Structure 1
Amino acid sequence: MKIKILLVEDDTDFGMILKQYLELEDFDVTWFQNPEDVVTILTSDFNFQIGILDIMMPNIDGFSLSKIILKEKPQFPILFLTAKNQKIDRLTGLKIGADDYIAKPCDPEELILRIKNILKRTSHSTLQMHVKIGDYNLDSEKLLLSHPRGDIRLTIREKDLLLYLLKHNHQMIKRDDILDTLWETNDYFTGRSLDVFISRLRKYFIEDPTIKIQSLRGIGFEIDFPEK
């Protein structure tokens, strides 16, 4: 069965070229030029495996559209297309919970590789679905981190990072190993993104002081999740 891709790109020429190329690679592509049309199918005909969203679009930009999609489909993987090679675009997309980004005009082979890597990464989880972490409970299928004082809805990237840390509990983990495994690339932007996600996980676990994610400057992180 072909992988179904949601492509949202308002530029007619680029959208047509990208759709044709993806179809040549045996993907099933549904192309929307108007992001508002995507919103109308979220609760009915939304049966895609991955979304490719342009950032700069009229009415609803890619960031806003991704928030709407992820609210209804929290595990839906998203790759952003950006015409601007600027740090703020990349970090904003990663903070929202997007799985990757690529700048336009993009190299078709690189795009295909990124799509396949995202699909491979999100097709299976490395741990059981329900995990006890100190005073917290993680439901990785529902992307839900629960605590008696309240629940936290995780993004896919946060869930993947948390599962990776749990897999290496009571160990020192190198930054490069995390980036190579989860982001499958290692540059300034992904390094900054990793720091953002680590900071967010620390805040999520603030109610249990026995849970520790310590930074080792220039090396990586030391993980200590109590197993109760």
Structure 2
Amino acid sequence: MAESKGLVLVVEDERNIADLQRRYLSREGFGVHVETTGDAALAAVRRMRPAAIVLDIALPGMDGMEVCRRLREEGDWTPVLFVTARDEVTDRVLGLELGGDDYLTKPFSPQELVARVKSLLRRAAGPRHDPVRRIGRLALDTGRRTLHVDDREVELTTTEFNLLAFLMHHPGQVFTREQLLGQVWGYAGYRDTRVMDVYVSQLRAKLGDASPLRTVRGVGYSVADAGR
């Protein structure tokens, strides 16, 4: 039997959707565990330490956003793919602000779900560069996946870390939102480039006045050149 590619926790209260997700993820070699409530999902994460979580937002009782919020408060940064039947920008932005790494709107193809999970895990593995990169007051270690501002460690989500790592390894270069989404998410054609603005805003809030992120009006984003 082939070795599992990792355990994916599926949190979905609609049995037919959960079964479909389980079937397609299992075909790709993932171990899959399903829970149907937010409370059970939190317990499963603490018990099983999954590689990724596919998390429905509209759960009975504790919803998916609250599950994610509690995990992040506990310092658990397991990659989270939100699944929602709502296509409202405010819902997607709130999910990202709470620490979600990606989102998928119902109805979706199971093949896209699998692709998103694979991309999430590739991003969690991190970019392959020199282990430590320093710019200004920031020290980013891609081997340990840690970021320090001066002597203070700053906790980042998987996507926040990978976005900052990519930009820090290309100092002075300007990238469009579309280019960054392709590099950081691992696939092109992401339909809502506004999510990049959310991540940049979150990074700036966490880094404070040490942030090297620069907005290039009408183009995209960059970080200050290391030599400046």
TM range (shorter): 0.7 to 0.9
**1:220 is aligned with what amino acid?**
G
Alpha-carbon RMSD: 2.5
Residue of structure 2 equivalent to 1:117? 119
Distance (Å, rounded) in 1 between the aligned partners of 2:72 and 2:24: 26
Matches within 5 A, 1:43-54: 43=46, 45-54=47-56
CA 1:142–1:187 in structure 2 vs 1: closer, same or farther (change >3 Å)?
Answer: closer
The match for 1:162 among 149, 164, 168 is 164
Preserved CA contact (<8 Å) 1:82 1:101 = yes
The superposition leaves residues 185-210 of structure 1 with CA deviations (integer Å, 9 ceiling, x where unpaired) of: 44452x111112222333344334xx
Distance (Å, rounded) in 1 between the aligned partners of 2:29 and 2:203: 37
**2:64 is aligned with what amino acid?**
G
Aligned residues: 223
Preserved CA contact (<8 Å) 2:175 2:220 = yes
TM-score, normalised by the number of residues in structure 1: 0.84
Distance (Å, rounded) in 2 between the aligned partners of 1:172 and 1:137: 21
TM-score, normalised by the number of residues in structure 2: 0.84
Distance (Å, rounded) in 2 between the aligned partners of 1:204 and 1:28: 34
The superposition leaves residues 26-67 of structure 1 with CA deviations (integer Å, 9 ceiling, x where unpaired) of: 321100112212222444x32311110000012211111112
Residue of structure 2 equivalent to 1:10? 13
Distance (Å, rounded) in 2 between the aligned partners of 1:212 and 1:144: 13
CA 1:14–1:167 in structure 2 vs 1: closer, same or farther (change >3 Å)?
Answer: same
Identity between Structure 1 and Structure 2 (%):
28
**1:152 is aligned with what amino acid?**
V
Residue of structure 2 equivalent to 1:32? 35
Distance (Å, rounded) in 2 between the aligned partners of 1:112 and 1:15: 13
The superposition leaves residues 62-107 of structure 1 with CA deviations (integer Å, 9 ceiling, x where unpaired) of: 1111122334464411111101122122222222232211112211
Question: Runs of at least 4 residues of structure 1 off by over 4 A?
Answer: none
The match for 2:59 among 57, 60, 64 is 57
